[in-house]
Amino acid sequence: MSLPYYHVNVFTGIKSCRVMEDPQPLAKVLKKAERPLMVFGPKCNEVNLDGKLLMEYGVEIAKTLGAAVCATANTKKKLLELGVTPDSTYDAVEIVNHLKDPNWKGVKKQGNHDFVLFLGVRPDLGNQGLSTLKHFATHLKTVTLCKYVFPNATFSLPNLKDDKWKEYLENLIQGLKS
């Protein structure tokens, strides 16, 4: 595992994420998910990758994958503007709290999710929430699609510059479509 970009997320433990340098194997893993959930954090409202809002990448990934959508923080408004009605609206810690329970019915009431994708959650809060899931939700897998290493996720992107991140997300979408 690479050192996380932000030192506040430096890992102190044994079980850390698998860094997915190449988006294609990640796409393959994601496609196996039965009930994926995409969690949108507030950076999705703010980050613009060469003219395209981060949230738009997330929406495209969620649609391609058929993932349910959870809006956290203040992302619901922007999602609605993009024509996406989220399946649920929670604070980040609230959705994590639900996900812990293997018997939870999930945001679509069809059963708990087996794979949770996170995009745009604040790095320290994100890694803390992923820590909860790593310890207390062994029934699911997690992946972060932000441009940094998140040690507590199951799968994480490497530390990337914006241009490489954009390229990664585009390739991931292609991989999911193929």
Partner 1 sequence: MSKGAVKQKEINKTIRAEDNWEPIGPTPMPEMSDLRRWDLRLMKTYKPFYAPFCDLCCFCTYGKCDLTEDKKGACGINISGQQGRWGLIFSLMGCSAHGAHGRHLIDYLIEKYGEDYKIDLGGQVDVEAPHMRTVMGLKPETLGDLRKGIEYVERGIIHGVSATHMGQEGSDIDFESKSLHIGMLDHVAMEVADIAQTIGFKFPTSKAETALSGLGWGAVDKTKPVVTCVGHNAAVATVMIDHLMKAGIYDQVEVTGICCTAHDNIRYSDKAKVIGPLSKQVFFLKTGIADLVMSDEQCVRCDIPQLAKESGSALIATSDKISYGLDDVTHKEVDEIVRLITQEGKQVLIRDVDKAGEVAAKVLPVVAKNRKKELVTKEKAQELAQACKKCELCDRVCPNFLNISTAVSDVKEGKFDMMTSVFARCVGCGKCEQECSKDIPIIKIMQAAASWDTYNIRVGRGPIQDVEIRKVGAPIVLGTIPGIIAIVGCSNYPEEIEEVAEIAEEFAKRKYIVVLSGCAAMAAGMKKDAEGKTIYDKYKPDFDAGGVLNVGSCVANAHITGAAMKVANIFAKLPLRANYEVIADYILNRVGAVGLVWGSYSQKAFAIGTGCNRLGIPVVLGPHSAKYRRLYLSRKEEDDWTVMDGRKKELVNTEEPSPEHLMVVTESKERAIITLARLCIRKNDTAQGRQIKLNHYISLYKQYMGSLPDDLQNFVRNDKDIPIVYKKEVSEYLKTVGWKPKPLLTLPTFIGTYESNIPIDAVVK
Residues that bind partner 1 (CB under 8 A): 5-8, 12-15, 41-42, 72-74, 76-77, 80-81, 88-89, 91-94, 96-98, 101, 104, 121-125, 128-129, 131-132, 134-136, 138
**Closest CB 142 distance from partner 1, rounded Å:** 13
Query: Are 15 and 49 within 8 A, CB to CB?
Result: no
Which of 92/172 has CB closer to partner 1?
92
**Closest CB 79 distance from partner 1, rounded Å:** 9
**Closest CB 173 distance from partner 1, rounded Å:** 26
Which whole-number Å values give the CA distances from 138 to 21, 62, 107, 111, 127, in the listed order?
A: 24, 23, 19, 16, 16
Which of 10/25 has CB closer to partner 1?
10
Which of 135/177 has CB closer to partner 1?
135
Q: List phi, psi (to 5°) of 35.
A: -130, 70
**Closest CB 85 distance from partner 1, rounded Å:** 8
With both helix axes pointing from N to C terminus, report the angle between 92-99 and 123-136 in degrees, rounded to the nearest 10.
10
Rounded to whole angstroms, how far apart are CA atoms 167 and 67?
A: 21
Which of 8/178 has CB closer to partner 1?
8
Query: Are 156 and 149 within 8 A, CB to CB?
Result: yes
Which whole-number Å values give the CA distances from 117 to 42, 51, 65, 96, in the listed order?
A: 14, 23, 11, 12
Reading the block at residue 82, the tokens are 């993009």
Which of 96/176 has CB closer to partner 1?
96
**Closest CB 94 distance from partner 1, rounded Å:** 7
